[in-house]
């Protein structure tokens, strides 16, 4: 018998989840077992999530993407959020995080877990105030942990818990002025609770209690980065690195209890800092899978932050990031619409795939080579079939009809693909 995927791996057991992930990733099951045992791969799979099609996150695996959604007080529409979840599944996201922070969060969470074959994550801290119906200052340590246990019972596969925001890190924040302070919602709530009550972060002080819950349900801890930079000015500062060192220590403690871990990272970050930050996380956190939000490489593009995020995400993935959290065009502005969600997913998938090509994931280039062959053959139906977004490719093709069906309205009869194909086959060529 075993308690978690990591426990099984350490005991030499290849679980059904490992077999499925190994098959999908074209890895030998034994190699995957070793990676899970060492903590370099996590397979988030709560034993209560019966509809799950397991995925692996970490070394030697494809870069995965996560989609954030959930209801808020200003936009309370559970049916719309479920539509976003269905769209995320349709568009091949590997994970969905329910960030609901108002109303019947449990009803929504349970429905999501029931229908979703993808990994489900949550941030229990978001749910605490609404679920407990108390002012933040009055929430007790026991009540915080009761929220975590409820999420685990419901079948959540991974939880973001800001365990590294301890009082020492909080002092770093206060003593090293930032432009954007703490931008993590969960991190800022914990910081406020600590300040209001003059107490240590309960998830740091009673970390073993958290591990008890995670081990019981096989929940993967996504160690949250409360001090992730919210501007390129604040990246790689004292508070961020202080917290990262603490997360590395907490990682080893979790592994000793056979609890799987992912590490969350920046944030906003200039291009020239991304590679070093990926290497720093892998070193300080002992090769644990790295889950990044972006990073957004410039702060000036509200309405286009799916692009600033995809640029950073591709560089991060190429340099070792394992899991990208999508960012939509609505980031910093509003709750995303269904169209925003789609734009964010496609941008993140492009970034993840570009990163996989750069880090040599087996089979990553095959898709691109098939597309290039279709272009060389001027085979538009095949190009559309291979597109990351066939719906948009079809729409663009229909909106602008060429004179000749085997060209497009950009080049027409001057199409180099068509003309090279003819010349190399010894055919006559007329471009008049």
pLDDT tens digits, one per residue of 375-391: 999 999 999 999 999 99
Q: Which domain holds residue 231?
A: 41-358
- The yes-or-no verdict on residue 3 having pLDDT over 90 is yes
Q: Any binding-site annotation on 68?
A: yes
Asked if residue 429 belongs to a domain, the reply is: no
Encode pLDDT of 16-46 as tens digits.
Answer: 999 999 999 999 999 999 999 999 999 999 9
209 is in an annotated binding site: no
Q: Are residues 295 and 409 in the same domain?
A: no
**What gap in Å lies between CA 18 and CA 260, rounded to an integer?**
14
Given 309, 335, 358, the domain boundary residue is 358
Residue 383 sits in the same domain as residue 295: no
Residues 353 and 370 in one domain: no
* Burial (Cβ within 10 Å: 0-12, 13-18, ≥19) of residue 206: middle
CA–CA separation, 424 and 155 (whole Å) = 59
Asked if 330 and 393 sit in the same domain, the reply is no
- Please indicate if the annotation marks 412 as binding a ligand: no
Task: Determine if residue 227 is labeled as part of a ligand binding site.
Answer: yes
291 is in an annotated binding site: yes
Measured CA to CA, the distance from residue 154 to residue 270 in angstroms comes to 39
User: Can you read off the two tokens belonging to residue 177?
Assistant: 């002025």
- 184 marked among binding-site residues: yes
Q: What percent of the chain has pLDDT over 90?
A: 87
Residues 200 and 296 in one domain: yes
Q: Could you tell me if residue 139 is inside a domain?
A: yes
| pLDDT tops 90 at residue 276 | yes
Average pLDDT for residues 174-199, to the nearest whole number? 96
Q: Look at residues 358, 379, 402 and tell me which one is the last residue of a structural domain.
A: 358
244 and 376 in a single domain? The answer is: no
412 in the same domain as 317: no
CB contact at 8 A, 305 and 44: no
Average pLDDT over residues 92-116: 93
How far is the C-alpha of 305 from the C-alpha of 329, rounded, in Å?
5
Specify whether 240 is located in the same domain as 351.
yes
- Is 185 known to sit in a ligand binding site? yes
Q: Per-residue pLDDT tens for 135-144?
A: 999 999 999 9
Q: Are residues 249 and 388 in the same domain?
A: no
Within-domain flag for 302: yes
- Average of pLDDT values for 61-86? 94
Backbone angles phi, psi at 79, to 5 degrees: -65, -40
Number of neighbours of residue 409 by Cβ within 10 angstroms? 12
Q: Is 268 annotated as a binding residue?
A: yes
Q: Which phi and psi angles does 230 have, rounded to 5°?
A: -100, 5
Question: pLDDT digits over 154-180, tens only?
Answer: 999 999 999 999 999 999 999 999 999
- Label residue 261 by pLDDT band (50, 70, 90): very high
Residue 431 has pLDDT above 80, yes or no: no
Q: Is 408 annotated as a binding residue?
A: yes
Question: Is 23 annotated to bind ligand?
Answer: no
Note the pLDDT of residue 107.
Answer: 92
Give me the residues paired with residue 221 across strands: 159, 261
- Whether 225 has a binding-site annotation, put simply, is yes
Report if residue 354 sits inside a domain: yes
Ligand-binding annotation for 186, yes or no, is yes
So what's the pLDDT on residue 421?
85
Q: Give the Cα separation of 53 and 43 in Å (integer).
A: 11
Mean of the per-residue pLDDT values for the chain?
95
Which pLDDT belongs to residue 103?
78
pTM of the model: 0.95
Within-domain flag for 57: yes
Q: Check the annotation: does 126 bind a ligand.
A: yes
pLDDT at 430: 79
Same domain, 231 and 108: yes
Does 406 lie in the same domain as 297?
A: no
- Dump pLDDT digits (tens) for 282-316: 999 999 999 999 999 999 999 999 999 999 999 99
pLDDT digits (tens, 9 = 90+) for 404-423: 888 899 988 888 888 888 88
Asked whether residue 12 is domain-assigned, the answer is no
Question: Can you give the CATH number for the domain in which 311 is found?
Answer: 3.20.20.540
Instruction: For residue 223, tell me if it sits in a domain.
Output: yes
**What's the structural domain count of the chain?**
2
Lowest mean pLDDT among 167-176, 209-218, 419-428: 419-428
Do the domain assignments include residue 317?
Answer: yes
Whole-number pLDDT of residue 85: 97
Check if the beta carbon of residue 113 is closer than 8 Å to that of residue 82: no
352 lies in the same domain as 370: no
Q: Where is the domain boundary, 358, 381, 413?
A: 358
Task: Check whether 87 has a pLDDT greater than 80.
Answer: yes
Percent of the chain with pLDDT over 70: 100
The Cα–Cα gap between 192 and 198 comes to 10
């Amino acid at each position: 018998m075993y308690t978690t995927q990591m426990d099984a791996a350490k005991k030499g057991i290849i679980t059904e989840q490992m077999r499925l992930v190994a098959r999908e990733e074209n890895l030998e099951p034994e190699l995957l077992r070793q990676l899970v045992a060492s903590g370099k791969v996590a397979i988030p799979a709560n034993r209560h999530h019966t509809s799950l099609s397991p995925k692996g996150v970490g070394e030697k695996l494809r870069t995965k993407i996560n989609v954030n959604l959930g209801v808020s007080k200003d936009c309370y529409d559970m049916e719309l959020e479920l539509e976003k979840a269905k769209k995320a599944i349709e568009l091949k996201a590997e994970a969905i995080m329910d960030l609901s922070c108002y109303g019947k969060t449990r009803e929504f969470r349970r429905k999501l877990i029931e229908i979703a074959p993808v990994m489900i994550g949550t941030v229990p801290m978001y749910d605490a105030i609404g679920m407990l119906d108390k002012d933040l200052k009055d929430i007790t340590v026991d009540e915080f942990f009761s929220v975590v246990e409820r999420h685990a019972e419901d079948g959540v596969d991974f939880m973001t818990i800001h365990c590294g925001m301890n009082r020492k890190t909080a002092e770093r924040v206060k003593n090293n002025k930032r432009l954007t302070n703490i931008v993590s919602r969960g991190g800022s709530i914990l910081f406020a609770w600590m300040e209001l009550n003059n107490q240590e972060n309960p998830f740091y002080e009673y970390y073993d209690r958290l591990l008890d819950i995670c081990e019981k349900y096989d929940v993967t801890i996504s160690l949250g980065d409360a001090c992730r930079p919210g501007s390129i000015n604040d990246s790689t500062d004292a508070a961020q690195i202080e917290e990262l060192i603490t997360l590395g220590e907490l990682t080893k403690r979790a592994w000793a209890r056979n609890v799987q871990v992912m590490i969350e990272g920046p944030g906003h970050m200039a291009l020239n800092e991304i590679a070093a930050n990926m290497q720093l996380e892998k070193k300080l956190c002992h090769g644990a899978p790295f889950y990044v939000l972006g990073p957004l490489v410039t702060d000036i593009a509200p309405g286009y932050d799916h692009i600033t995020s995809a640029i950073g995400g591709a560089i991060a993935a190429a340099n070792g990031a394992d899991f990208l959290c999508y960012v939509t065009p609505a980031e910093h502005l509003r709750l995303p619409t269904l169209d925003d969600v789609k734009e964010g997913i496609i941008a993140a998938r492009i970034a993840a795939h570009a990163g996989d090509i750069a880090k040599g994931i087996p089979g990553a280039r095959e898709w691109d080579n098939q597309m290039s062959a279709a272009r060389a053959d001027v085979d538009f139906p095949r190009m559309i079939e291979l597109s990351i977004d066939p719906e948009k490719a079809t729409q663009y093709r229909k909106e602008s009809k060429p004179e000749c069906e085997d060209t497009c309205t950009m080049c027409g009869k001057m199409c180099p693909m068509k003309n090279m194909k003819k010349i190399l086959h010894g055919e006559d060529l007329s471009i008049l």
